[in-house]
Amino acid sequence: MSSPNAESTAFRSALEVIRAVEPRIADAIGAELADQRESLKLIASENYASPATLLAMGNWFSDKYAEGTIGRRFYAGCQNVDIVEALAAEHAKELFGAAHAYVQPHSGIDANLVAFWAILADRVESPALRRAQVRQVNDLTEQDWFALRRELGDQRMLGMSLDSGGHLTHGFRPNISGKMFDQRSYGTDPATGLIDYDRVAEAAREFRPLILVAGYSAYPRKVNFRIMREIADSVGATFMVDMAHFAGLVAGKVFTGDFDPVPHAHIVTTTTHKSLRGPRGGMVLCGPELADQVDRGCPMVLGGPLPHVMAAKAVALAEARRPDFADYARRIVDNAQALAEGLLGRGAKLVTGGTDNHLVLIDVSGYGLTGRQAEQALLDSGIVTNRNAVPQDPNGAWYTSGIRVGTPALTTRGLGTAEMDATAELIHTVLSQTTPGSNADGTPSKAKYVLDPALADKVARQATDLL
């Protein structure tokens, strides 16, 4: 393992090289480092990658084209890329107990697109496909595809609703998935905020989806993937899990048995950052029955692979296989629960009343605020969060009524449960001292707010002192 001095020297040297070409970029990098060092980073989808992971991205692999897959490239001279991709896939399979791993996706959205098309390519067989005289779905022209879509009676997706914690890529209209599929959502119990599996089963029986999607971006509880697979099987659906947010908890064996998606899903997608603490990127895990279709991700929906990012994925996945990562994953959940308890003890309202995972969803309407007002007031105070819709949110997806906070990044920084309680106190102080502002015409504003700058500065100093 390298020494801290070696790591610092490497990054200082890199900044000096950048500064010689474009000093403003070097300044922006330095400012970002300072911001992340001095503020409480509570965005649930963010983390801190290790120096080894970051350094693995800045190398000559960035210069190499490598379309195709291992041993079947469309460019010559990819022998070193093959080694990198094979190592990343090997680490992923061993870490998650998966039969097959595809590590090329550039993001979680790309990973989901690969999964969707792989499922379609595996399941679709129709007169339109035969008339097009093609063998693979990815060979269809746009005209062929729309003809095929008209003939498919089951091109439907059932996923969690956005205001219940689902993700945009699970069939919602602004995303390409919403244009590929006829989508319907399952929500959560209005009284508890929890998934009602009986209602999911009822929706599946009525809708008969081609794909049943589980996974979330703002649901603070575990999901029982065994039950979800049973529901998918009961209607002949392919069961897909997007574990982008909680992959680190699966890797660290915090989520096991019914709560580990890999043994239960037909196909699993994830990002490699967030709780997994790797570079920004995506990944697909599946069984042998879908492996060939998944490996056609490039050029099916992906551009050329990013070998330098695959190298960083391999490093991060190797780190996640170490025993200390399991301890890290447990501490993420311990910290999230301590943060939730600290907020509840100070009168905050939490969706589902707590958490089982890495995130907490605060309903800030109890403070008389919108999510947008709360998000900015906290940012002014050195606490970085993001606004998020809550179930049946009256303020919609832009202003929202919630704030989502997560503990992966602060856990990486070494903070523990005592610091989480102190963080809860800072959050409560800011939100309880923030009031809604008014528009120029005197009407209430959903964006403007009033917060004493002196209080914000004081909290920001206290936040820095925790780090």
Among all residues, which ones are annotated catalytic? 65, 67, 242, 271, 274, 280
Given a contact cutoff of 8 angstroms between Cβ atoms, the answer to whether 164 and 190 are in contact is: no
Closest by CA to 361, choosing from 404, 391, 406, is 404
Give me the phi and psi of 76, to 5 degrees please: -80, 165
3-state secondary structure of 292: helix
The alpha carbon dihedral of 250, 253, 259, 261 has a sign of: positive
In 100-196, alpha helices (H): 108-123, 127-131, 142-151, 176-180
DSSP letter string, 212-247: EEEE-SS--S---HHHHHHHHHHTTPEEEEE-TTTH
DSSP string, 178-215: HHHSEEEEE-B-TTT-SB-HHHHHHHHHHH--SEEEEE
| Of the candidates 226, 269, 115, the residue with the CA atom closest to the CA atom of residue 181 | 115
**Across-strand partners of 349?**
363
* End-to-end Cα spacing for the chain: 24
